[in-house]
Amino acid sequence: MKKIIALSLYFGLCCASAAQETGTPPQGMRGTPANLPDISLIGVIDGHTSSNKSDETRNMLQFSEVETAFQGYIYPEMKADVFLALHKHGEEYASEICEAKVSFLSLAGGLSAEVGKVNAEFGKLNKAHSHTRAMADQPAALTKFLGEHALNPQGAVLKYLLPLPFYAQVQAGAWQGNAHAHHVDGDLTADVLDVDQSTVTVVLAPAESEEFSPAGKIYTGRMNMSFPLSDGAELELGTSWLKGKGSHWEHHRDNINIAGADFTLKFWPSTYKRFTLQGEYLRLKRDIPVGELKRDGLYFLANYRQSKYWDFGARFDYAENAFPEITYERDYSLIATRHLTETTTLRAQYKHINLSGEKTDEAWFQLIFGLGPHSHELE
Amino acid sequence: MKKILLTAAALALWACPARAELKIMTASTDLKYICERIGGAEVKVESLASGGQDLHMVEPRPSMVFKLKKADMVVRVGLDLDMWLDSLVNAARNKALFYGQPGYVDASAGVELLERPEGKVDASMGDIHIYGNPHYWLDPANAKVMAKNILAGLKRLAPEKAALFDANYEYFAAETDERLAAWGARAARFKGLKVVTYHGSWPYFARRFGLEVAGHVEPKPGIPPSASHLDGLVKKMTAENVKVILTESYYPRKGPDFLAAKIGAVVVTAPVSAGGAAGVKTYFDVFDRVIAGLEAAAGKK
C-alpha cells in the first residue's frame, strides 16, 4: 500500500508540474470568488417510527447527521475533499471523518488516484453519501456485509478508464479498515487442550449479536461499464470484489471475500422525468474456525422522477446475515421524495421487514438540507 | 463582402495541410451550433445537453465521461449554470479540458452581465447565481462574444487554421449583425410589451428587444409557484394589464395556464436552445421562433 501511495504522489507531482507550464487562456467566472475552499453543510433530520417496541429510535424525531465539507483544489489537477460528520449512535453523537481524501485527477498513463479515508467504490451505493441516496435507510445487504455505515477505510485507490469504444473503468484499492473496538460477547466457544496440556477457551464462531463489516487489510477491485441504449436511455453494469478480514478478527480469525454485481438502467423520457431501475447482488464468503459461511444479499430499486420536484420509489431487499445461525431478511419499501432545491429534500419512507418470520413495520420522515456549495464526484 | 469572406475561407482551407478534425464537446446545443460555424469542417462537435433540457439540471452520465475523455476542447456556458460539467471533466481525466488548460473554453467570458446580486447572497433568494444571470445567450448580440471565446480556443488548439477560423468568425458575426437588425425591426412592433416569464431566463432577451418583464411565475428562481404567489400575480397582471406569459418549453404549463385562464392572457411557449422545439434547428432559429410567438401574442392582445 505504501508503494501505491508513493507512486500516486510521484505521478501526481510530475503531472501537476507539467500543467503549470501551460499558459492560461481567458476564463469565465465560476465557484467561490476568493481563494477559499467550497464550505458547506448538510443536515439530516430523521423522524422514525417502528412497530418494534425495542427499537431505540422508535417514535423519535432527531438530528441524525451533520456533514460539513471543505472542498477545493490544492494544486493543479489535485483536489482535496474533507467531509466531517456527526452521527447519532444510540443516545450520543459521535464525530468522525466521513471522508478525507486527496484526488489526483490525472496521473501518468491515464490513471487517477484517491488517497486518504474514502467511501470505497464497492458496488453502486457504498460510494454515495447517505444524503445523496434516493432512500432514508440503506439496503439490508449493504448493512449486513459492509457495515452499518458505508465501508469507509483508509488507503488508496487507482482508477483507469479503459481504451474501449464505450465507458469502462477499472480500479484497484488497498486499504486499512478499523476493527470494531467494542467488547465482543456471546461467542460460541469451546474448551480445548493446549500444547502444554492446559485448558484454553477458543472461539468457534461469532454470535449474531455482533456487528459485522470488513476490516484489517482490505483489497478492493471494481470494473464498471456504461452503454447508451439511445439518447434517452443508458445501462451501467458493474462488478466488484473485496478481500479482507472481519471486524472482530482478533477474536474470530475470520478471512472474508465479497463479490458483487450491479446494474443501473435509466430512461429519460423528457426533461425532468426519469425512470431508474437499479440492483446489486453481493455474496459474502467468511472463513471462521468451524468452516466457511456463504451468504447472499441483494436489492432492487425502482425510482420514478415524475417532475422537477417529486420522485417515487420502491425497493426490495433480501439479505442473509453474516453469522453461523443463518437468518433471512426480506424488506419491502415505498419511498416518496420532494425536492425543494438541489440539496434540500423532504422524504417519507415505509418499510415492511420480514426477518425469518418476525415482522416489523417501520417509517421515516426525513428532512435533508444543504447550505453552501456541496459536490460529490460522479457516482 | 460575403463572397470575399467565403473565398478567403476557401483559400485558407485549401492552403492548410490535412489534419484530423478537432473533437469538441459543448454544454449546450447553442454552443455546438456556434462551434460548428466557427470551426467549419475542421471540427466535430457534440452537445452534452439536448436542446429541450433545462441546463440547470443535466444529469451526468458515464457515456458523457467517455465522450469528454476523447475530446480536444470543452465549451461551457459558465457562470455556475452548468456546474454538472465539473464532475464529468474530472471523471474523464482529460487534462486538456481542465480549468485553465488550452482546451477549456468558458463562453461567458467577456459578456456584460445582468442581475448581478449585491450584498449577501443565500438560498433565501432562491437558486441565485452569484455572478449574475447566466442566460446571456438569449441576447443574440452575445453570440459574437461566445463565438470570440470559441475562436480563441480553436486558435489555441490549431493555430495553423487560424485564418480559416477568423474568416468563419467574421462571416458568423456579419450574419449575426444582419439578423439582429431584422429581428430588431420585427420586435419594434412589440416594444414595451409587458410580459410575465416563468423563470428569470429572459432579461437579456428583454433588454435587446424592448420587453418589460413584470414578474415571474416562480416566486424566486428555482422555487415552484405557490397558490398565494399565483394569486398575487393575477392581481398584479390585472392591475398592470399584462397579457402575455413567456414560458420556457421545459417548464410545467400548469402555472402559466392557470394565469392565462384567470386573466385571459396568451401563453408563449418558447424554446431557449437549438433543438428545444420542433423546427428549431439552429441557435438563430430560437430567436425566429420566440419573436414570432411574441408577434402573434402582441397581435392578439
Do B168 and B83 lie in a common domain?
Answer: yes
Residue B124 belongs to some domain of the structure = no
pLDDT at res. A158: 96
A230: nearest CA in chain B? B63
Domain with B229 in it: what CATH number?
3.40.50.1980
Q: Tell me: pLDDT of B224 over 90.
A: no
Nearest chain B Cα distance for residue A254, angstroms = 36
Do B152 and B295 lie in a common domain?
Answer: no
- Nearest CB among A28, A308, A377 relative to B57 is that of A308
Residue B102 belongs to some domain of the structure = yes
Do B245 and B156 lie in a common domain?
Answer: no
Q: Which candidate, A188, A198, A297, places its Cα nearest to that of A240? A: A297
Taking every pair of C-alpha atoms in chain A, what is the biggest distance, in angstroms?
A: 80
pLDDT at res. A27: 58
A266: nearest CA in chain B? B61
Residue B194 belongs to some domain of the structure = yes
pLDDT at res. A23: 39
- For domain A29-371, which architecture applies? Beta Barrel (2.40)
Do B89 and B221 lie in a common domain?
Answer: no
pLDDT at res. A300: 97
pLDDT at res. B145: 95
> Which three cell numbers, joined as nine digits, stand for A4?
501505491
Across chain B, mean pLDDT equals 89
Report chain B's terminal Cα–Cα distance, integer Å.
Answer: 41
Cα distance between residue B166 and residue B163, in whole Å: 5
A271: nearest CA in chain B? B53
Residue B1 belongs to some domain of the structure = no
Tens of pLDDT, residue by residue over A276-331, are 999 999 999 988 877 888 999 999 999 999 988 899 999 999 999 888 888 899 99
Neighbour-count burial for B262-301, b at 16+ CB within 10 Å, e otherwise: ebebbbbbbbbbbbbbeebebbbbbbbbbbebbeebbeee
Do B271 and B190 lie in a common domain?
Answer: yes
DSSP B160: G
Which of B150, B180, B210 finishes a domain?
B180
Residue B14 belongs to some domain of the structure = no
DSSP A210: S
Q: What is the arrangement of strands in the sheet containing B104-106, beginning at the earlier edge strand?
A: B43-47, B22-26, B73-76, B104-106
Cα distance between residue B151 and residue B161, in whole Å: 11
Do B199 and B65 lie in a common domain?
Answer: no
A77 CB neighbours in chain B (<8 A) are: 95, 98
Do B60 and B97 lie in a common domain?
Answer: yes
Residue B27 belongs to some domain of the structure = yes
> Which three cell numbers, joined as nine digits, stand for A223?
470494473
In chain A, domain spans: 29-371
Residue A106 at interface with chain B, using a CB cutoff of 8 Å: yes
B54 CB neighbours in chain A (<8 A) are: 271-272, 308
Q: Which of residues 243-282 of A touch B (CB under 8 A)?
A: 266, 268, 270-272, 274
- The total domain count for chain B is 2
pLDDT at res. B12: 46
pLDDT at res. B15: 44
Nearest chain B Cα distance for residue A110, angstroms = 7
Do B88 and B56 lie in a common domain?
Answer: yes
A274 CB neighbours in chain B (<8 A) are: 59
Would you place residue B272 in the very low, low, confident or very high pLDDT band (cuts 50, 70, 90)? very high
**Does A375 contact B153 at a Cβ distance shorter than 8 Å?**
no
Cα distance between residue B125 and residue B117, in whole Å: 10
Ranges of beta strands (E only) in chain A are 38-50, 60-75, 78-89, 92-104, 111-117, 154-161, 167-177, 188-193, 199-205, 214-230, 233-246, 255-267, 274-288, 291-305, 310-320, 328-339, 345-355, 358-371
B94 CB neighbours in chain A (<8 A) are: 106
**Does B65 contact A161 at a Cβ distance shorter than 8 Å?**
yes
Taking every pair of C-alpha atoms in chain B, what is the biggest distance, in angstroms?
A: 66
Nearest chain A Cα distance for residue B214, angstroms = 25
Do B171 and B249 lie in a common domain?
Answer: no
A166 CB neighbours in chain B (<8 A) are: 63, 66
pLDDT at res. A205: 60
Question: Residue A199: phi, psi to the nearest 5?
Answer: -95, 130
Q: What is the arrangement of strands in the sheet containing B194-197, beginning at the earlier edge strand?
A: B212-216, B194-197, B244-248, B266-270
Cα distance between residue B80 and residue B101, in whole Å: 18
Q: Which candidate, B46, B44, B41, B36, places its Cα nearest to that of B16? A: B41
**Does B90 contact A105 at a Cβ distance shorter than 8 Å?**
yes
Q: How far is CA B55 from CA A297, B28, B63, B201, in A?
A: 38, 8, 18, 11
Q: Which candidate, A369, A363, A376, A370, places its Cα nearest to that of A137? A: A363
> Which three cell numbers, joined as nine digits, stand for A258?
465479497
β-strands A328-339, A310-320: how paired? antiparallel
Q: Which residues contact B25 (CB under 8 A, 6 or more apart)?
A: B45, B46, B47, B48, B67, B68, B71, B73, B74, B75
Residues of chain A falling short of pLDDT 70? 1-34, 180-195, 200-210, 378-379
Nearest chain A Cα distance for residue B182, angstroms = 30
Tens of pLDDT, residue by residue over B131-161, are 889 999 999 999 999 999 999 999 999 999 9
Residue A36: how many other CB atoms lie within 10 Å? 10
For the segment B213-241, the average pLDDT, to the nearest whole number, is: 90
**Does B86 contact A375 at a Cβ distance shorter than 8 Å?**
yes
pLDDT > 70 fraction of chain A, expressed in percent and rounded:
83
Tens of pLDDT, residue by residue over B22-35, are 999 999 999 999 99
DSSP A76: T
pLDDT at res. A346: 96
Residue B47 belongs to some domain of the structure = yes
**Does A341 contact B156 at a Cβ distance shorter than 8 Å?**
no
> Which three cell numbers, joined as nine digits, stand for A265?
438502467
CA B158 to chain centre: 26
**Does A270 contact B105 at a Cβ distance shorter than 8 Å?**
no
**Does A30 contact B52 at a Cβ distance shorter than 8 Å?**
no
Q: How far is CA A123 from CA A275, A299, B63, B175, in A?
A: 20, 12, 18, 52
**Does B60 contact A378 at a Cβ distance shorter than 8 Å?**
yes
A376 CB neighbours in chain B (<8 A) are: 87
CA A21 to chain centre: 38
Tens of pLDDT, residue by residue over B32-71, are 999 999 999 999 999 999 998 889 888 899 999 999 999 9
Identify the domain containing residue B35 by its residue range.
20-109+129-180
Whole-model pTM: value is 0.83
Residue A150, CB half-sphere, CA atoms under 13 Å: how many? 26
Residue to mutate among B74, B76, B99, B142, with most A CBs inside 10 A, is: B99
Residue B238 belongs to some domain of the structure = yes
Q: Which candidate, B258, B80, B282, B127, places its Cα nearest to that of A32? A: B80
Tens of pLDDT, residue by residue over A325-348, are 888 999 999 999 999 887 889 999
ipTM over 0.90: no
pLDDT at res. A17: 42
Residue B27, CB half-sphere, CA atoms under 13 Å: how many? 30
pLDDT at res. A185: 56
CB A169 within 8 A of CB A160: yes
A272 CB neighbours in chain B (<8 A) are: 54, 57, 250
**Does A27 contact B130 at a Cβ distance shorter than 8 Å?**
no
